[in-house]
Chain A
Amino acid sequence: MKILIIEDERDLMDNILAYFSAGDFVCESASSKAEALDKLGGFNYDVVILDIMLPDGNGLQILNHIRNENPDTGVLIISAKNALDDRLRGLDLGADDYLTKPFHLSELNARIRAIFRRRKLQGQTVLQYNEIAIHTSNHEVLVNDASLELTLKEYELLLFFVTNKNRVLTKQAIAEHLWGDNVDYLQNFDFVYQHIKNLRKKIMANDGKDYIKTIYGLGYKFTDK
């Protein structure tokens, strides 16, 4: 998967690049509107991560350009503005998703992969992790070729784990991924454990391995190492 990151904050770009460097992405970056348009003209990207507040022009113009010139490219907007009109305008112009700063890199990763699956593979994709196969088109999960009965939240949790495999996921990142901004009033996210426990139990009932490692006091990591 080929990604273009358009972001004027060097440090934020470095974060994203560093996080994605461990995955199967090819990442390129642009820090200005001119550079972005230049790269968009020369290469095809699967997904563009776009900061709508750029020093040399509004990112929405770049979005417009992408929609006209590269209709197959997925676009995820990141912005510090949570002004709702920007969000709506962004989505109207054809952005696939919108993320407000600050965000978890794991969340960014999950969103980008979701865009990629929807756009490039028309939803037809199977995420394979050893004996676990996730069919994102119909939300079906197979473990050792046997179907797994999961609630919607458990399914989303497993998908989040697999897309962020081998990474530390804090309980908060998990909670925000599953329940959105509404969890911000909570001081502890221990209830996430309930869902982890259920998911783990269901996988192991199908003779799957327990890949969910607990990192004490912090969160979880989905790994076979």
Chain B
Amino acid sequence: MRLLTKTTLWYLVFALIMFTIGGLIAMSMVRTVVNRETDYELQQTLREIRNAAAFENGLDIFNERNSVSIRAFPKGQVIQPDTILKDTFIYLKRTQRVEGFRKLITNTQLEDQFYHIEISEIIIEEGDIISVVSWIIIRLFLFLTAALLIGNFLISKNLFRPFEHLLKSLDKFRIKNNEPLSTMETKTQEFQRLNQFAEEMTNKARLDYQNLKEFSENASHEMQTPIAIAQGKLELLLESPQLTEEQLSLVHTTQQSIHKISRLGQSLTLLTKIENEEFSAKQPVNFSDIVASNVQNFKELGQMQGISMEDKLAAGIELQIDPILADILVTNLLKNALQHNIEEGWVKVRLTEEYLEVINSGEPPKLPTDQLFQRFKKNNQSKGTLGLGLAIVKKICELNGCEVDYSYAEERHRLRVTFSH
């Protein structure tokens, strides 16, 4: 629900409660005023009667009225004077209904005689007051609602425009595009602050992303050149005729370590590049061909290690993926299967419409299986592997919406990549 709709609804609920309470108060006030006015009328009539009593037969015109009854006490009888006011119901012949009346009953002395006087005055019915008050309240409420709706429309059109604009551009913002966030001029202080904040955050994010990207490129370059130099020097050193066997072995070990540093740098750079989505050229790729050619290459390498490789590949499987990533994915899976194998072991590769599966013989995993996809988590420290291959596989799968899972049973490791199509 939109913010404005929400605040409006709350406002209306609140207004409804307030209007109800206001209506009740208005009703009771009207009631009070009406009663006071009626009582005043009754007292006024009584005063008129007192004035009229001074004249001969002055009371007769009052007795003709339905609303007044004057009864004289016998002459000389003394009555304690008192006056009461009360509400009562009287059947009216004229309207054929029982109506509410206010009645003044008094025993009083007029001139030299005591009288019992009753004066009644019709009062406005409760129902009439209620209907009039609610009529007013309901119309007021409807008017307010209409005014609010129009107000909202104007607010969202004008006042909230910078906000809506910001939301839209945040929606469209892509860190990779390296375009600044577009915001709208506004005089509203809160929106100014929001715009400023969003701009600062996105600029920072873009800058960080660019730096990271450049760093990963530069790291590769800056690292590989000194490595290339060191490796070349060692190669030249090997040419020296007077090296002893021990010295040769030292050179050789150094070469291997340098080689490992180089691979480590390349793999980490690759991982960063994948994370930065630099390989985003998704296109239809004949995945069957990629798997087949890689299996062909690794079959030969496997054979030399004494590991046999079997494959059962469905033809013409097509995936939406960057071809470079597809190749890296398959290569890493196959390398992993050959690496964590046993002597005289085997690898089985299976490709179907739904998944690519690589099963290989091997010793039970020494790591909790959920850690296998983490960086630098190695099952076998001694083998000198980098521990990045499966992390790369996982990252590629995440990026392309595939699932990768691992299981081990009966001395066989199984890695399965399930496609999302």
What residues make up the interface of A, taking CB atoms closer than 8 Å to B? 9, 11-12, 15-16, 18-19, 22, 53, 80-84, 100-106, 167-168, 170, 172, 179-180, 182-187, 191, 194, 215-218
B228 on interface, CB distance cutoff 8 Å: yes
* Shortest distance between the CB of B250 and any CB in chain A (Å): 10
A186–B384 alpha-carbon span in the complex (Å): 9
A101 and B224 in contact (CB under 8 A), knowing A15-B236, A172-B259?
yes
Docked-complex contact A170 and B236, CB < 8 angstroms: no
Q: Is the CB of B329 closer than 8 A to any CB of chain A?
A: no
Q: Is the CB of A19 within 8 A of B324?
A: no
Asked if B360 is at the interface of the complex by the 8 Å CB criterion, the answer is no
Chain B, range 201-233, C-beta contacts under 8 Å to A: 217, 220-225, 227-233
Contact B220 A81 (CB under 8 A): yes
Give residues 245-266 of B contacting A (CB, 8 Å): 245, 248-249, 251-252, 255-256, 258-259, 262-263, 266
Residues of A within 8 A of B263 (CB): 184
Nearest-neighbor residue (CB-CB) of B382 within chain A: A187
Given contacts A9-B225, A15-B236, A102-B259, could you give 8 more A-B pairs where the C-beta distance is less than 8 Å? A101-B225, A102-B227, A103-B228, A103-B231, A168-B235, A168-B238, A184-B263, A218-B238
A15 touches B229 (CB 8 A): yes
Query: Known contacts A81-B217, A187-B383; is A179 also within 8 Å of B300 by CB?
Result: yes
The answer to whether B252 and A12 have CB atoms under 8 Å apart is no
Q: Give Cα A69 to B258, complex, Å.
A: 39
Contact yes or no, A82 B225, CB < 8 A? no
Indicate if the CB atoms of A19 and B220 lie closer than 8 Å: no
* Interface contact B220-A12, CB-CB below 8 Å: no
What are 13 pairs between A and B in contact, CB < 8 Å? A11-B233, A15-B232, A19-B236, A22-B239, A105-B232, A168-B235, A179-B300, A182-B335, A185-B338, A186-B301, A217-B252, A218-B238, A218-B248
Q: How far is the CB of A154 from chain B (nearest CB, A)?
A: 13
Given A81-B217, A185-B385, A19 contacting B304 (CB threshold 8 A): no
Q: Interface size on B (CB < 8 Å)?
A: 46
Check if B239 sits within 8 Å of A182, measured CB to CB.
no
- Given the known A-B contacts A9-B229, A102-B224, are A194 and B255 also in contact in the complex, defined by CB atoms under 8 Å? no
A104 CB contacts on chain B under 8 angstroms: 231, 235
Q: Mostly helix, strand, loop or mixed at chain A's interface?
A: mixed
State whether the Cβ of B339 lies closer than 8 Å to any Cβ in chain A. yes
Q: How far is the CA of A183 from the CA of B338 in the complex (A)?
A: 11
The CA of A34 and the CA of B3, in the complex, are separated in Å by 64
Query: Is B305 an interface residue when CB atoms closer than 8 A count as contact?
Result: yes
CA separation between A191 and B305, bound complex, in Å?
Answer: 7
Q: Which residue of B lies closest to A83 (CB)?
A: B217
Q: Could you tell me if A194 and B304 are in contact, using CB atoms closer than 8 angstroms? A: yes
Residues of A within 8 A of B230 (CB): 102
Q: Does B297 contact A (CB under 8 A)?
A: yes
| B239 with A167: CB separation less than 8 A | yes
CB distance from A110 to the nearest CB of B (A): 13
Residues of A contacting B297 in the complex (Cβ-Cβ under 8 angstroms)? 179-180, 182
Q: Which of A100, A106, A185, A186 contacts B235 (CB 8 A)?
A: A106
Query: Judging by beta carbons under 8 Å apart, are A80 and B235 in contact?
Result: no
Q: Mark B330-361, 1 if CB is under 8 A from A, else 0.
A: 01000110110000000000000000000000
With A15-B236, A19-B236 already in contact, the answer to whether A182 and B298 are too (CB < 8 A) is yes
Q: Which residues does chain A contribute within 8 Å of B384, judged by CB atoms?
A: 187
Across the interface, A19 reaches (CB within 8 A) one of B235, B255, B301, B385, namely B235
